Amino acid sequence: MAAQAAEGHGREVVLQAMLAAGWSHQVASEALSETPPPALPVPWPASAESSLRLDAGDRRVDISTVMRGPDLLVLENLLDEQECLALIDAAKPRLQRSLTVALETGGEELHDDRTSDGMFFTRGENTVVARIEARIARLLGWPLENGEGLQVLRYGPGTEYKPHYDYFDPFEPGTPSILARGGQRVATVIMYLQEPAEGGATVFPDLRLQVVPRRGSAVFFSYGMAHPSSQTLHGGMPVLAGEKWIATKWLREREFV
């Protein structure tokens, strides 16, 4: 099952093959839901186990939280104030209602779970974006070209992003077309550009962890398996007052095109 999913066969194709082989529908469906795909290599700073300060090339970045299994870091001073403000200013004229990935088709769609406004920079679009992308690549030891374009999001009062996974479900029919652009997502970096006056924490329900947004800090987490066992369910809690601005960087297993 894992091998067929990795080859791009949809859930229905695998299910029908299992039924033809004599599986009952209930057992086959349960097995498909419980079987994780093969694990992929993921980014991780080489010195994160021995040092609370990491070399990001043009600056030193502090670690305030380390977790393994799942792999997660809370990073302090990843961005400076000027970089945060520059990203916000460049993003403002291009904001639109945020979309989510439509796994049925491989496209995008509006979804009630995500109520922010957002936009995407192309990779290396301006000097600030290029500098931040190079910093992340150096920090995590992951190729620059394996990153998606930086996404900037604004959350006003009452807006949120309900808990979700960032990987692409290998059994959804639209996933093969998404994976053709660079393979699976294997890690996420959420950078906080502006903290709200109240609310807006990043929550990891499976880990009972909340990360408080602070300008310039970030949370990094990886997921070598596109499966709930990765324990990377996460969401943005509702903003209660003020505005929260974030920049998200998703890393793929191969070059993103």
Q: Residue 80 CA to chain centroid, in angstroms?
A: 22
**Does residue 103 carry a pLDDT above 60?**
no
**Does residue 146 carry a pLDDT above 90?**
yes
Percent of the chain with pLDDT over 70: 89
CB neighbourhood size of 240 (10 A): 12
Helix (H, G, I), strand (E, B) or coil at 96: strand
- Count CA within 13 A, CB hemisphere, residue 245: 19
Q: What CA–CA distance (Å, rounded) separates 17 from 35?
A: 16
pLDDT band at 169 (very low <50, low <70, confident <90, very high): confident
> What are the phi and psi torsion angles at 125 (to 5°)?
-60, -40
Q: What is the pLDDT of residue 53?
A: 93
Average pLDDT value for residue range 155-169: 94
Domain with CATH 2.60.120.620 in the chain: 37-252
- Least confident range from 29-33, 92-96, 203-207, 248-252: namely 29-33
Tokens of 237: 């809690």
pLDDT band at 138 (very low <50, low <70, confident <90, very high): very high
Q: What is the pLDDT of residue 222?
A: 98
Cα 232 to Cα 163, 196, 204, 206: the distances in Å are 9, 24, 7, 7
| Architecture category of domain 37-252 in CATH | Sandwich (2.60)
Q: What CA–CA distance (Å, rounded) separates 46 from 44?
A: 6
pLDDT band at 109 (very low <50, low <70, confident <90, very high): low
- Least confident range from 16-20, 42-46, 97-101, 185-189: namely 97-101
